[in-house]
């Protein structure tokens, strides 16, 4: 840094005397713009980035509209924000229109002066921005990748596609902006033909967009900003399930002189929720386990959803733990906010404090399960715990063995004979080939957390439970004792609420 400054100072002094030779090395427009396409946005994150601009422009209404026409499909994101003059729009169309180092208004969701362009180019080859300030005429400009390639120059063109019916709404707005994408090759790449199945794929993509936006902008939607997809309101998805029965809320902690605020939430145990509420908690990622972790917000806009920020791995026992972190927009560099606004990394000096808060919240989240277990055990009077797998040490090495005492297993192997000998052999092969290295590797990658036993297959587990329960009863074991045994038996210990219903 110091070195660089010194050099530029030297250049400034010397160039006056022409002692140092310099030349302009402009970026090559055509290859540069292709590189911008590869920043790694998904359609969800790209649309969210466009909406950031609408919110920063004070929009109260945002409309996302599309018309599916196979390869000729278009997507538009319209807002009733303050809009731009012709001059402002030209400036906004430039890559890097605002430096990340310049100070932003407090409610600005922008970051690098790139989002509108990079997000759009990541999905389409052509996009038009149409804008109007109150009392002004509307104006529009288009970036066309093919034209840039052809001219090899950073030129925008005065062009707007015709026959797009949802644009009619724009003329009725006092002020606002539309970003219109067409030639959306990245969205339609696998869906090139206009068929029923490609249409269904496109609609599924749009459903993902809806779920993502319901999460990323939930605080804005809760505050009354309307985001509509194809005319229908997007409902907010609140990761912390505030207002739900059984939620525990930790006091807010302030770090960095109040610029970082952290609050832990321990979500309600399943037994406190209706089936519908439990499904709500699964969120856009579709599972409780995936949604544990930190939620990092910058100016109330969610950047990172359910991630332990490298401090822990995702584990089943912590699936009720969600921790909110609120940041302002003046500490981006500290938190390494990226162009896509989907990555945030805490600065090293805060790690200790984050770790302490997370540990405390996680401990409370585990306690919910222990507590449930205890209640059930106390009520049922359970005894010994029966896992399916046991750890064994052999010649100083770790191995995993199927527990022959587990009632499900014992039933299979207890009668001596050819069948049980066969089963014993199969067990041994399974035990000797448990894919520990693969499991360890995947655990560390932390991408898709492993599910809890029978996750998403509740009926199956209930079925097995019923069978064992019946067997216990027919063996003359009392109801209470039978239930207690199930509560202490893997994997049924994860489903104590089902035991209570037997
Ligand atoms: N919907 C909009 N309404 C008003 N102004 C906008 C809109 N979209 C973009 N702009 C203007 O264009 C600029 C560049 O946007 P963008 O490329 O997303 O970068 P950033 O958001 O980081 O500033 C914004 O700072 C804003 O001034
Ligand atoms: Mg932006």
Domain boundaries, the chain: 29-232, 248-376, 389-501
Q: What is the per-residue pLDDT across 204-225, written as a single tens digit (0 to 9) for each?
A: 999 999 999 999 999 999 999 9
Mean pLDDT of the residues in the chain: 88
Nearest ligand 1 atom to the CA of 81 is 3
Q: Which ligand is nearest to the CA of 85?
A: 1
Give me 192's structure tokens: 């090139």
Do residues 362 and 312 make contact, with C-beta atoms less than 8 angstroms apart? Answer: yes
The DSSP secondary structure of 395-455, one letter per residue, reads: TTEEEEEE-TTSHHHHHHHSS-SHHHHHHHHHHHHHHHT--HHHHHHHHHH-SSPPPPTTT
Q: Ligand 1 center to residue 50 CA distance, Å?
A: 8
pTM of the model: 0.76
% of residues, the chain, pLDDT over 90? 53
Q: Ligand 2 center to residue 393 CA distance, Å?
A: 57
Q: Ligand 2 center to residue 256 CA distance, Å?
A: 26
Which three-class secondary structure string do you get for 126-185?
Answer: EEEEEEECCCCCCEEEEEEHHHHHHHCCCCCECCCCCCCHHHHHHHCCCCEEEEEEECCH
The residue to mutate among 36, 91, 110, 117, having the most atoms of ligand 1 within 8 angstroms of its beta carbon, is: 110
- Residues that place a CB less than 5 A from ion ligand 2: 52-53, 110, 115
- CATH for 248-376 is 3.30.230
Q: Which ligand is nearest to the CA of 104?
A: 1
pLDDT of residue 383: 62
Q: What is the per-residue pLDDT across 356-365, written as a single tens digit (0 to 9) for each?
A: 999 999 999 9
Q: Does domain 29-232 have CATH number 3.30.565.10?
A: yes
Q: Ligand 1 center to residue 117 CA distance, Å?
A: 9
Identical fold between 29-232 and 248-376: no
Q: Which ligand is nearest to the CA of 97?
A: 1
pLDDT of residue 301: 95
Give residue 3's pLDDT band: very low, low, confident or very high (50, 70, 90). very low
Nearest ligand 1 atom to the CA of 108 is 21
pLDDT of residue 7: 65
């Amino acid at each position: 840094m110091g070195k660089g400054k010194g050099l530029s100072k030297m250049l400034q002094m010397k160039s006056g005397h022409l002692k140092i030779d310099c030349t302009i090395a402009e970026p090559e427009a055509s290859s540069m713009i292709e590189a911008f396409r590869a920043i790694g946005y998904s359609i969800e994150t790209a649309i969210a980035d466009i909406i950031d601009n609408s919110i920063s422009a004070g929009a109260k209404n945002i409309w996302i509209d599309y018309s599916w026409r196979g390869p000729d499909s278009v997507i538009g994101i319209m807002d009733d924000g303050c809009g731009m003059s012709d001059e402002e729009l030209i400036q906004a169309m430039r890559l890097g229109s605002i430096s990340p180092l310049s100070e932003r208004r407090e409610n600005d969701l922008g970051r690098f002066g790139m989002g509108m362009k990079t997000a759009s180019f990541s999905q389409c080859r052509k996009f038009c921005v149409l804008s109007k300030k109150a009392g002004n005429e509307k104006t529009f400009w288009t970036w066309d990748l093919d034209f840039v390639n052809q001219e090899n120059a950073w030129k925008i063109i005065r062009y707007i596609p015709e026959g797009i019916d949802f644009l009619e709404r724009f003329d009725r707005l006092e002020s606002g902006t539309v970003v219109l994408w067409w030639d959306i090759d990245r969205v339609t790449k696998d869906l090139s033909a206009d068929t029923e199945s490609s249409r269904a794929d496109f609609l599924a993509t749009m459903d993902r967009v809806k779920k993502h936006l319901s999460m990323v902008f939930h605080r804005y939607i809760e505050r009354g900003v309307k985001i509509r997809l194809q005319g229908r309101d997007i409902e907010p998805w609140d990761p912390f399930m505030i207002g739900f029965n059984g939620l525990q809320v930790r006091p807010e902690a302030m770090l960095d002189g109040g610029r970082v605020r952290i609050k832990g939430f321990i979500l309600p145990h399943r037994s406190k929720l209706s089936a519908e509420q439990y499904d709500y908690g699964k969120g856009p990622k579709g599972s409780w386990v995936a949604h544990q972790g930190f939620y990092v917000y910058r100016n109330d806009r969610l950047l990172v959803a359910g991630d332990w920020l490298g401090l822990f791995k995702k584990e089943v026992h912590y699936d009720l733990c969600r921790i909110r972190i609120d940041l302002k927009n003046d500490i981006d560099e500290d938190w390494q906010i990226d162009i896509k606004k989907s990555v945030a990394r805490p600065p090293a000096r805060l790690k200790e404090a984050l770790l302490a808060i997370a540990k405390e919240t996680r401990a409370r989240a585990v306690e919910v399960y222990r507590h449930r277990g205890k209640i059930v055990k106390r009520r049922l009077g359970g005894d010994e715990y029966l896992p399916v797998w046991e750890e064994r040490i052999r010649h100083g090495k770790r191995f995993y063995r199927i527990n022959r005492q587990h009632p499900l297993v014992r039933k299979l192997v207890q009668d001596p004979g050819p069948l049980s000998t066969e089963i014993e052999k199969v067990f041994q092969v399974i035990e000797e080939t448990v894919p520990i290295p693969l499991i360890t590797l995947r655990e560390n990658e932390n991408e898709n957390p492993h599910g809890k036993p029978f996750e998403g297959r509740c009926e199956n587990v209930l079925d097995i439970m019923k069978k064992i329960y019946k067997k216990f009863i027919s063996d003359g074991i009392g109801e209470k004792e039978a239930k207690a045994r199930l509560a202490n038996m893997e994997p049924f210990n994860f489903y104590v609420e089902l035991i209570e219903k037997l």
